[in-house]
Amino acid sequence: MLSYRHAFHAGNHADVLKHLVLVLTLEYYLRKDKPFWYIDTHAGAGLYQLGSAEAQKTHEFAHGIQLLWDADAPPAALHPYLSLLQQLNPHPHLQQYPGSPWIAAQMLRPTDQLRLFELHPADFAALGGLLGKDKRTQFCKQDGLQGLLGLLPPPARRAVILIDPSYELKTDYQGVVDTLAKAHQRFATGTYLLWYPVISRARVGQMSAALQNSGITDILQIEFCPLPDSNALGMTGSGMFVINPPWLLENQMRDISPWLHQQMATHGGHFSITSSPPK
């Protein structure tokens, strides 16, 4: 299905969580001189205008990144993420929000590589227009869940892989776990960032159980829900399963989660961090 367009949701609380975890993970990988790959299974358009008709229709960014943009004295661990936004928005007003491909392209070195999957024709064209001149980057107009396995293991034997489908189909929940299990069998040492929406608590529980039963170990689960769980329609929050997380990440997120919760969770909700140690 191709009905999902991220332009309606750019900069919301789920983007904040996903991109903060991504920036902290890439920062850790950059500490070593050895090159690595960044693989994005659902790259999107790469850059979003918050003044667009799509973003203004939902105004989701106002309850996400806008709150952090306007906040005073953010924790130090947030500075790299916010500095990227300031680089993109040098003026006082927040006008553009980056997708994960733009973030990675800014952070990676000339020796690193980007591999970006996007199936939607309009978003694929926009992504090529944004990063098409970047010689480190290769684009594939394909569902990344189908294309990912063909890239593993990467020649560099180091990689950060972001998996964040739209979950338009109920089968996506099991599909991402199946793909991740196969990917881990081919390339067990990569860092996998699996994003998921919190719409049904039962589905999140099923994903967590499926990951545990897959034999994958060393899983860090980070979840932020600005709203309490509900049986009503709609996303109350989101989370990340991080496979082989950087050793700093758990403590970084524990340090900044109270501040993030204070800024963005105005109606209760929760921020949780749980880990299963490597065997």
Instruction: Summarize pLDDT for 48-83 with one digit per residue, the tens.
Output: 999 999 999 999 999 999 999 999 999 999 999 999
- Per-residue pLDDT, 6: 85
- Per-residue pLDDT, 242: 98
Domain of 12 in residue numbering reads as 6-276
The angle subtended at Cα 210 by Cα 207 and Cα 212, nearest 5°, is: 110
Whether 99 maps to a domain, the answer reads yes
Specify the number of domains making up the chain.
1
Whether 47 maps to a domain, the answer reads yes
Could you tell me whether strands 113-117 and 159-163 are parallel, antiparallel, or unpaired per DSSP bridges? unpaired
Q: Record the pTM.
A: 0.96
Whether 110 maps to a domain, the answer reads yes
- Per-residue pLDDT, 279: 54
Whether 1 maps to a domain, the answer reads no
Binding site residue list for S-adenosyl-L-methionine: 19, 42, 100, 118, 143-144, 164
Taken in order 229, 224, 101, 91, the sign of the CA dihedral is positive
- Per-residue pLDDT, 7: 87
CB–CB of 190/160 below 8 Å? yes
CA dist., res. 116 & res. 163, Å (int): 11
Residue ranges in the chain whose pLDDT is less than 50? 1
Q: Which amino acid is at 144?
A: G
CB–CB of 71/261 below 8 Å? no
- Residues with a known catalytic role: 164
- Per-residue pLDDT, 170: 81
- Per-residue pLDDT, 91: 84
- Scanning the chain, the segments in alpha helix (DSSP H) are 13-29, 53-58, 65-70, 79-88, 100-107, 121-131, 144-147, 171-186, 201-213, 249-264
- Per-residue pLDDT, 224: 95
In this structure, what CATH number is given to the domain that contains residue 112? 3.40.50.150
CB–CB of 118/141 below 8 Å? yes
- Residue 37, CA distances (Å) to 83, 128, 217 in order: 23, 18, 22
